Amino acid sequence: MTDRIPSAVPGPGELSEAELAQRLQARRQWLGDTDFAYDPPLEPVRGDGVYLFDSAGQRYLDMHSTVPSMGHGHPEVVSAIAAQAATLNIHARHLNNVVEAYAARLLGLFPAPLGNLVMTCSGSEANDLALRLARLVTGGKGIIVTSGARHGSTATTAEISPGLGQPLPAHVRTIPPPDPSLAKGAALGPWFAARVREEANVLQKTGAGFAALVLESGFAFDGVFTDPPGFLTEAVSAARQAGGLFIADEVQTGFGRTGMFWGFSRHGVVPDVVTLGKPMGNGYPMGGVVMRAQHLARLNASAPYISGCGGSPVAAAAGMAVLDVIETEKLVRNAVRSGEALRKGLRRLARSFPRIAAIRGAGLLIAVDLVMPETGAPDPGAARRAINALQRNFVLVCSATPCGHTLQLRPPLSISAEQVAQFLEIFGGVLATLE
Amino acid sequence: MTDRIPSAVPGPGELSEAELAQRLQARRQWLGDTDFAYDPPLEPVRGDGVYLFDSAGQRYLDMHSTVPSMGHGHPEVVSAIAAQAATLNIHARHLNNVVEAYAARLLGLFPAPLGNLVMTCSGSEANDLALRLARLVTGGKGIIVTSGARHGSTATTAEISPGLGQPLPAHVRTIPPPDPSLAKGAALGPWFAARVREEANVLQKTGAGFAALVLESGFAFDGVFTDPPGFLTEAVSAARQAGGLFIADEVQTGFGRTGMFWGFSRHGVVPDVVTLGKPMGNGYPMGGVVMRAQHLARLNASAPYISGCGGSPVAAAAGMAVLDVIETEKLVRNAVRSGEALRKGLRRLARSFPRIAAIRGAGLLIAVDLVMPETGAPDPGAARRAINALQRNFVLVCSATPCGHTLQLRPPLSISAEQVAQFLEIFGGVLATLE
């Protein structure tokens, strides 16, 4: 860890406790209380590939960020943004070759009949528009989501995000995550589909009607559930039989994260609507809703989607550069390989450390459950201590499950075999010292 | 008009009718029907200051765009985005000096008690969050807006946007715009306030309760109403007396557009919540909600606002560059001067052309009503013909009122006296030939 970079910015690592308190106080004055990712908070000042650097020049292996899937500060994406922003950045109500070429290329990555695109400024806006579409098309209002899901920060998407901890309105019904241990020996697909049918019935009985089943393709906020491949098939059929659309939220899993270009492909299903965000612009704020032609026509007939910045040529240029990078650097294949190496190494660690109760995931979306070795009970305290110990060892991971006993590993898709080995070595050391 | 630039991209100006049809067909295949700004659509390929250029190198004076208020492709903003994107682009859950410095500087431009900021990815997301806050704080659901207003494209903000033409839910009530001609001789302020009181009463009687009066500070979508300064005072008091918040939507008027930094300042009122968008990043997708400390605390206690790209250091760098440019280039003062020159010239034209029935606005948000010279009746057909004739003369304006007989002039704030004179000469020529 010798990559010390010069910086005039004092980071928390260099501040005394009193100075840090003063810095936090100043921040609180303008921005209110921040839900910091680490305690004490980290202050990265530079990013490069899979690494973040703090103001002291200390390098951190980033196994945490979901937005810069192509790597921090990817030069090709940055250049594309800079060049297009200097040339033309304008709203979407003109002809524009960059935007049209991006739409054509992106949509070429989807199965029929998913052939139309609306571009937004965020994944939240994409999910928000998808809900509007589903309600317009079905005439129903009710939505089914998993109990830990988060689908966005607009009023409408926060309403379908039980993972945010707010009370849900009556027209939002939750089902348990597709966790094989909950199915108690039953086949996961039919068990999960039965939950969808039950809640669709409830929605129809209450008069809310059923508009859509909205599932994040990797169930990241529920704790990552990706196996067995294909388990979504029955649930999707059940949703359609009940008159609802199936909306695949690919804000986290899209663009190669799970070792396939789209998370839903793992299950052999074709969604009615797909929503995109985070990695789409590798940090440039953009999102998208992919749908079939007649749904877009229906939406436009209701009210055209107007956005000052959504669908701009700069967003398209960023998106195009992301697709180029994925292709040139073979990132989907790397997600498969590095993901396999990571899970293999984790399974090896699990043989030595009974704290690891389960390893789940696909590609580079991986969950590790930590439990009490004696009882096997979920141990969120151990997860918290592991996250902080990893940070002290300059590795960033996070926990994103309702119970908090699950570590999530989701590094940039460009992570190398050496960096995977480096992580496993440090994680082994942390597990060895974990109280 | 000699600025021909080389381009490999064929624009509609160079295409035969058959080729244009083919181009439109290809676009429709991916992006559906576009609500183009012009017919036939324009294809700008480059922007520079107040000018756009098409693929033939033809230069257009842009009096239409509201996003790039600091001018197309402003080099200082573009450099700031490029430099920060290459250095660090990350979510808002870390300490970050760039973000903190931007928040402090931006908030320094607001009157007390408006001292806290949440950053979003768009003006739509900002208005959406403001509605969530108002409902949380008041316990009411009802919103009052003007009859032509547009406040965004999320489900919740589209609901309070009668200008989009969709039916409104019962908890959204409209009032007429603050048009002196509707007040029929009564003082505008008290007349407008009485409309707010009436609708707040209706909301309270229906049980929806009253959460907020949401007004776009320049009433751009209603046809631009800015006079007399101070007319909002009574309406804001009326809203508060009825238990609601006053949300000032500054997505269009913020950052100097009306010749003051904020549109609400013209009326001597201090809003409860201010929402920001479009010019905030001069094209970089960002928005913001400015509020008082106890409201932010309330929001965070309900559910923290989490965004993958909102509040990133790149957004902060873009926003900071925008503030620098406004200051260095004295753009607010220029908006006053160029706006006055523009209105003065328009008044001169009105004396020769009875088609011009009214000129309204402040700074560089200006509306010109076109009527039948014989009857004085609104003439949307003439406005359409004027817009197309101006485009043929390489000047871009738009119409954004319910009736469509109003031309809107809202050029970049850097427009010079010479460019204003150029516009007036061309507009005079168009008026002379208008059937």
For residue range A327-364, what is the model confidence (pLDDT) as tens digits?
Answer: 999 999 999 999 999 999 999 999 999 999 999 999 99
- Which residue has tokens 């704080």? B137
Q: Under DSSP, is residue A53 helix (H, G, I), strand (E, B) or coil?
A: strand
Nearest-by-Cβ selection for A47 from B90, B132, B154: B90
Q: In this predicted structure, what is the pLDDT of residue B103?
A: 97
Model pTM above 0.90:
yes
Search chain A and give the residue with CA nearest B298. A32
CA–CA–CA angle A65, A70, A73 (5° rounding):
80
pLDDT at position A7 over 80: no
Q: In this predicted structure, what is the pLDDT of residue A13?
A: 58
Nearest-by-Cβ selection for B283 from A36, A65, A314: A314
Q: Which residues does chain A have within 8 Å of residue B123's beta carbon, measured at their own beta carbons? A: 308
Give B390-411 pLDDT, tens digit per residue. Answer: 999 999 998 866 678 999 999 9
CA–CA separation, A25 and A20 (whole Å)? 8
CB contact under 8 A, A154 and B153: no
What's the gap in Å between the CA of B292 and the closest CA on chain A? 10
Give A124-182 pLDDT, tens digit per residue. Answer: 999 999 999 999 999 999 999 999 999 999 999 999 999 998 899 999 999 999 999 99
Domains of chain A (ranges; CATH) run 12-65+330-433 (3.90.1150.10), 75-328 (3.40.640.10)
The reply to whether B86 touches chain A by the CB within 8 Å rule is: yes
Q: In this predicted structure, what is the pLDDT of residue B376?
A: 94
Q: In this predicted structure, what is the pLDDT of residue A18?
A: 87
pLDDT at position B3 over 80: no
Task: Among B95, B105, B159, pick the best mutation site for testing chain A contact (most A Cβ within 10 A).
Answer: B95
B positions 304-343 inside 8 Å of A (CB)? 304-312, 314-315
| Helices B313-328 and B97-107, packing angle to 10 deg | 40
Confidence at A6, pLDDT banded by 50, 70, 90: very low
Q: In this predicted structure, what is the pLDDT of residue B13?
A: 57
Reported ipTM: the value is 0.95
Contacts of B264 (CB under 8 A, 6+ apart): B217, B232, B248, B250, B270, B271, B274
Confidence at B12, pLDDT banded by 50, 70, 90: low
Comparing B85 with A20, the larger pLDDT belongs to B85
Q: What's the Cα-to-Cα distance from A23 to each of A32, B6, B428, rounded to whole Å?
A: 13, 51, 58
CB contact under 8 A, B303 and A97: no
CB contact under 8 A, A303 and B165: yes
Q: Across the beta sheet with A172-175, what order do the strands follow?
A: A116-120, A287-291, A273-276, A245-249, A210-216, A142-146, A172-175
Q: What's the Cα-to-Cα distance from B13 to each of B24, B40, B48, rounded to whole Å?
A: 13, 9, 20
What's the gap in Å between the CA of B65 and the closest CA on chain A? 8
Q: Under DSSP, is residue A191 helix (H, G, I), strand (E, B) or coil?
A: helix
Q: In this predicted structure, what is the pLDDT of residue A37?
A: 84
Q: Which residues does chain B have within 8 Å of residue A288's beta carbon, measured at their own beta carbons? A: none
Confidence at A122, pLDDT banded by 50, 70, 90: very high
Percent over 70 (pLDDT), chain B = 96
Search chain B and give the residue with CA nearest A165. B303
Search chain B and give the residue with CA nearest A300. B33
Q: Which residues does chain A have within 8 Å of residue B96's beta carbon, measured at their own beta carbons? A: 43-44
Size of interface A-B (CB pairs under 8 A): 312
Give A392-427 pLDDT, tens digit per residue. Answer: 999 999 886 667 899 999 999 999 999 999 999 999
The reply to whether A349 touches chain B by the CB within 8 Å rule is: no
Search chain B and give the residue with CA nearest A9. B97
Task: Among B121, B132, B305, B398, pick the best mutation site for testing chain A contact (most A Cβ within 10 A).
Answer: B121
CB contact under 8 A, A155 and B132: yes
What's the gap in Å between the CA of B215 and the closest CA on chain A? 19
CA–CA separation, B41 and B21 (whole Å)? 11
Confidence at A12, pLDDT banded by 50, 70, 90: low
Q: In this predicted structure, what is the pLDDT of residue B34?
A: 86
User: What number is the average pLDDT over the span A286-314?
Assistant: 93
B positions 102-121 inside 8 Å of A (CB)? 103-104, 107, 115-118, 120-121
The reply to whether A303 touches chain B by the CB within 8 Å rule is: yes
User: What number is the average pLDDT over the span A377-399?
Assistant: 93
CB contact under 8 A, B26 and A104: yes
| Helices B123-138 and A123-138, packing angle to 10 deg | 70
Q: Which residues does chain A have within 8 Å of residue B33's beta carbon, measured at their own beta carbons? A: 297, 300
Task: Classify strands A116-120 and A287-291 as parallel, antiparallel or unpaired.
Answer: antiparallel
CA–CA separation, A320 and A125 (whole Å)? 20
CA–CA separation, B320 and B106 (whole Å)? 8
Comparing B253 with B404, the larger pLDDT belongs to B253
Confidence at B14, pLDDT banded by 50, 70, 90: low
The reply to whether A13 touches chain B by the CB within 8 Å rule is: no
Nearest-by-Cβ selection for B158 from A303, A309, A315: A303
Q: In this predicted structure, what is the pLDDT of residue A355?
A: 96
Q: Which residues does chain A have within 8 Å of residue B155's beta carbon, measured at their own beta carbons? A: 128-129, 131-132, 154-156
The reply to whether B58 touches chain A by the CB within 8 Å rule is: no
- The mean predicted confidence, pLDDT, of chain B is 93
Q: Which residues does chain B have within 8 Å of residue A38's beta carbon, measured at their own beta carbons? A: 94
User: What number is the average pLDDT over the span A231-258?
Assistant: 98
Search chain A and give the residue with CA nearest B294. A32
pLDDT at position B85 over 60: yes
A positions 14-33 inside 8 Å of B (CB)? 23-24, 26-27, 29-33
- Hey, how many other C-beta atoms are within 10 angstroms of the C-beta on A294? 11
Maximal CA-CA distance, chain B: 65
CB contact under 8 A, B308 and A123: yes
pLDDT at position B11 over 80: no
Search chain A and give the residue with CA nearest B103. A30
pLDDT at position B7 over 70: no
| Helices A188-206 and A233-241, packing angle to 10 deg | 20
Q: Locate A277 and state its tokens.
A: 């965000």
Task: Among B14, B55, B94, pick the best mutation site for testing chain A contact (most A Cβ within 10 A).
Answer: B94
Q: Which residues does chain B have within 8 Å of residue A92's beta carbon, measured at their own beta carbons? A: 34
Search chain B and give the residue with CA nearest A86. B73
Q: Which residues does chain A have within 8 Å of residue B109's beta carbon, measured at their own beta carbons? A: none
Q: Are A408 and A366 in contact (CB under 8 A)?
A: yes
Q: In this predicted structure, what is the pLDDT of residue B274?
A: 98
pLDDT at position B285 over 60: yes
Q: Which residues does chain A have within 8 Å of residue B45's beta carbon, measured at their own beta carbons? A: 87-88, 97
Q: Are B69 and B412 in contact (CB under 8 A)?
A: yes
Nearest-by-Cβ selection for B87 from A41, A73, A307: A73
Search chain B and give the residue with CA nearest A42. B94
Q: Locate B216 and state its tokens.
A: 């776009």
- Which residue has tokens 């806290």? B116
What's the gap in Å between the CA of A375 and the closest CA on chain B? 33
Percent over 90 (pLDDT), chain A = 85
What ranges in A48-151 are assigned the alpha helix state H?
Answer: 75-87, 97-107, 123-138
What's the gap in Å between the CA of A246 and the closest CA on chain B? 19
